[in-house]
Structure 1
Amino acid sequence: MLELYWGLLITGVLFAVVTVIFGDLLSNALDGVLDFLSGEHLHAFQPMVLLSAITVCGGAGILLTRYTSLGTFAVLITAVLCSLIVAILVYFLYVKPMENSENSVAYSMKDLVGKIAEVSVPIPAQGYGEVLVKMGAGNTNHIAASFEQVEIQTGAKVVTVEVIDGTLYVACLDKQL
C-alpha cells in the first residue's frame, strides 16, 4: 500500500510542478487544444481540487503508515477522509472565491483604442473636449482631442485612434463635420 501512497504523492507533486512551469507555455504552443482540461464546466471537480486531494491522500497515507499503528484499511479510510477535507477546503477557500473575482469592470486606457464614443463637449481643432465612451455596462467620460485637428461638434460619433497621456485622440466616424 505504501507504493500506492507514494505514487499518489508523486503524481500530485509532478502535476503541480509541470502545471506551474509549463502550463502557459504548453497551452500557448498547442493553441488552446488542452483548454478542455481546465474543468471550467465541472465547478467542484476542478483539476486543482482533484489533484490536491490526490496529493494529500498520498502524503497522509505515507505519514499514517509510518508513524501510527493503524491497520491498512484504517490508514486508507483516514487518508481518504483527509483528502476529502482538503479538497473541500481548497474548493471553498480558493477556487470558489477566484471564480467570483474573475468578473471585473476595470479597463485599461489602452482598451479604449478602437472604441466608438459620442462627443459630449465640442472638441476644437487645437484644444480639448470630452467624449462619452460605453465600457461594459456603463459609460465613462474622457478628455479628448481631435486626431485630425479638425473641429468636432457635440453629438458626433467618433472612434478613438490613440491614447496619449490619458487623452483620447479621436476621429469622426462620418466625414460630415
Structure 2
Amino acid sequence: MSKYKKSGAKHYFTRLTESLLGKFGSFSGLISNDIGIDLGTANTLVFMKGKGIVLAEPSVVSVDSLTNEVLAVGHKAKAMLGKTPRKIHAVRPLKDGVIADFEITEGMLKALIKRVMPVRSLFRPKVLIAVPSGITGVEKRAVEDSALRAGAQEVFLIEEPMAAAIGAGLPITEPISSMVVDIGGG
C-alpha cells in the first residue's frame, strides 16, 4: 500500500482545485470567484475557492426538444428520466468520458455556474475544468468555448489523470513513477 491514503474523490478534487486555483494570482483571488469543475460522465462536481465542493450533481440535463432550452440540470433532471412528456427529454451530454453534445453541455455549465455564483457578482469566475486525457485539440477548444459562453472570464483545462495525481498528493514533479487508474462513470 502506498503512503497516500484513500480519502475519496471529493477529497482529491478539493485538494487539486485548492492547489491550482491558488496559482491564479493573489489579487484576482480576492475579488473573483474561482471555480473548479469536474465534468464527469455520471456526476459533475463544482468547487469554489475558499468554500470547497459546493455542488455535486448527476450529469443529466432535461431539454425541451422543440426549443432546445435547458429546463433542469442535475438531480432535478435525473428525476425526470423516463417520466417526461414527448417534447421534453432528459439526456446525459457526456458519453464514455467525452462531451457528446456540446450545446447541451454548455447549457449545463451555464446552469451550474449560475447556481454557485453570487447574484450580484461584479466579476466573472476563472474556471478550471478537468477533461479526459484522450480528447482532441478541437474538443478541448469546444470545452473552453462552452465555459466562456457559460460566463467564465478565463478557462484553464487539466487532464483528468494529472488532476487525480495532484489531488491524491502524488509527487508529480519528482523523477519517480506513479500510476493513476481513473475508473469513471463512463
Q: Which has the higher strand share?
A: 2
TM class by shorter-chain length?
Answer: under 0.3
The structure with the largest helix share of the pair is 1
What TM-score, normalized by structure 1, do the two folds share?
0.24
Larger Rg: 1
Calculate the TM-score normalised by the size of structure 2. 0.23
Which has the bigger relative contact order, CA under 8 A and spacing at least 6? 2
